[in-house]
Amino acid sequence: MKYAQQEAFLKHLESAAPADLSPVYLIISTEDYEREKALALILKMAGGQEQASTLHFEGSKLDGTKLLQELNTLSMFGQDSLYIIHQCEALDKGTMAMLSDYLERPNPQARLILLAEKLAANTRLYKRAERAGVLLHIPEQKRWEKQKLIGSWIQSLFKEEGVTIDPQAAALMAGRLGTDKTLLAGEVEKLICYVGDRKKVGVQDVSELCATSNQETIWQLGEYVLQRQVGAALRALRALMAESASLVGLIVQLRTSMQNAFELCSMVHSGTAQSAMAGRFPYLTPKLLEKNQKLALSYGPHAFRKALLLLNDVELKAKSAGNDPEILAETLITKLASL
């Protein structure tokens, strides 16, 4: 059974829980938020994450033989055991082969939950997981699709909690924080607490709560990169790192900023009307829009393309063990501000 949306997947879980939950679930999404949400739903339907028979594994560190011993062992707790494998795309070939074989006849007393950012549909693991259990594969959205839909997604989060947000305030959140759903969900929680019984979030609320010194420094960092001021960019970076900012988080936010600037540059080059650009970036005042247009044009389309490839490359390195985040960060910013 295969699903492509969280809503349909939730309906399946509600109808199956608790007795008829599948012995195998494969969750694929490039969004950390979507994978964690699906996992939380499964755990909730299975009785909660804190039960003694729940075990977590990292795909890159997993011993296939030990895993199979665990999966084929009857539960000592009188209930179904939960085995959760994060980043299952990182399994070595031998472990992936053993796991694929296991899926031919999975232990009915075990619940195996596989989480992956990406996994090709033509792999044995993908095919057998779909055949043996339930698959949630959320298609990766293009950047323009994310930007188009993120405002309504923010509004839906507030609605779930009985709170409304002005559409302009949602657009302002997206403009300042990008399309990272995990980051946005955290800001939504803060805003709900902030407005309290008022149950309505406006532009002023977002301006007051989300315009943190961290975010302002990220804006400054982006500006210095576009202006090719290497020294100033490195000082802004060090200020962020001193606040214990995550390198991956910084890359995500900086990439969103660069993508928006690249889009603005492309719109100017294609002769897009000023009113259309103002509508695309409603959180920018006319003065700020003009400033951003000049910065984007000075950086140029060729530099933007190289910058986005570089950001993706460094993000992968930042997620790998053994790399010094400070060295990676300073090298990245120096290169970005020198393109």
| pLDDT tens digits in sequence order for the chain, 339 residues long | 899 999 999 999 999 887 888 999 999 999 889 999 999 999 888 875 445 478 888 888 888 888 888 888 765 544 567 899 999 999 999 999 999 999 999 988 888 999 999 999 999 999 999 999 999 999 988 877 887 888 899 999 999 999 999 998 898 888 777 788 888 888 899 899 988 889 999 988 888 787 554 555 778 888 999 999 999 899 888 888 876 667 887 888 888 889 989 999 999 999 999 989 988 887 777 888 899 999 999 999 999 999 999 999 998 888 877 788 889 999 999 999 999
Domain shared by 116 and 192, yes or no = no
Contact indicator for 173, 189 with CB cutoff of 8 Å: no
- Our count of domains for the chain comes to 3
What are residue 110's DSSP bridge partners? 81
Contacts of 204 (CB under 8 A, 6+ apart): none
Alpha carbon distance 65, 68 (integer Å) = 5
Domain shared by 12 and 55, yes or no = yes
pLDDT on residue 52 = 47
Cα dihedral value 223, 226, 231, 234, nearest 10: 70
Domain shared by 29 and 42, yes or no = yes
Domain shared by 158 and 269, yes or no = no
Q: What is the CATH number of the domain that holds 201?
A: 1.10.8.60
Domain shared by 132 and 237, yes or no = no
Checking 288-293 for CB contacts under 8 A at 24+ apart, the result is 292/261, 292/264, 293/264, 293/265, 293/268
pLDDT on residue 13 = 92
pLDDT on residue 73 = 76
pLDDT on residue 49 = 45
Domain shared by 55 and 111, yes or no = yes
Domain shared by 92 and 187, yes or no = no
Contacts of 234 (CB under 8 A, 6+ apart): 330, 333, 334
Domain shared by 80 and 122, yes or no = yes
Q: Which of 324, 323, 320, 316 is nearest to 61 (CA)?
A: 320
Domain shared by 89 and 28, yes or no = yes
Instruction: Name the residue range of residue 246's domain.
Output: 215-336
Domain shared by 325 and 288, yes or no = yes
Q: What is the CATH number of the domain that holds 245?
A: 1.20.272.10
Domain boundary among 162, 186, 210: 210
Give, in order, the Cα–Cα distances in Å from 143 to each of 84, 149, 180, 256, 262: 30, 10, 11, 9, 12
